Amino acid sequence: MKEHEALCRSVVAYVVKELDDETRSFVQSRIVWQFRPRPTAEDITKGIEEDFEGAFVGVKVPADEEDDADVVLFEEEGSDVLQAERMEPGGVIVLFWENIDPFDDENVEEVVLHELGHFLGDEEHDLEEAGIG
């Protein structure tokens, strides 16, 4: 188990180090990394499926940072529309090493890049087009 987590940590450190300075600083300040064998019951209640290799849970970077909306609108039944300030991007990326098959540097790196892509605003089809789907 320790060697699995050590490999995950090593790959995360390598991937983050390879990011440009601005992105690296942003990721380091906004993402908490976790590593476990497989999704827990609590993970599953958050929508993570049992066979996921990794997951990002949190607020992703908006796809279009030029978006002129500084607020998110919510509507509750029987009330006027309420406004709330947009939440700051950040969250947790979890790697589930028992689901990464084969479990090696290359496949762990692909999962790390995939989950970072979700945090940075990419959708599933964008990641597939980039070859990290």
The CATH class of 2-129 is alpha beta
**Tens-place pLDDT, residues 85-114:** 667 889 999 999 999 999 999 999 999 999
Which of residues 65 and 86 earns the better pLDDT score? 86
pLDDT classification of 82: cutoffs 50, 70, 90: low
Residue 18: pLDDT above 70?
Answer: yes
User: Would you say the pTM of this structure is higher than 0.75?
Assistant: yes
More confident residue, 77 or 34: 34
Amino acid occupying residue 50: E
The percent of residues above 70 in pLDDT, for the chain, comes to: 82
Delimit the domains of the chain by residue range.
2-129
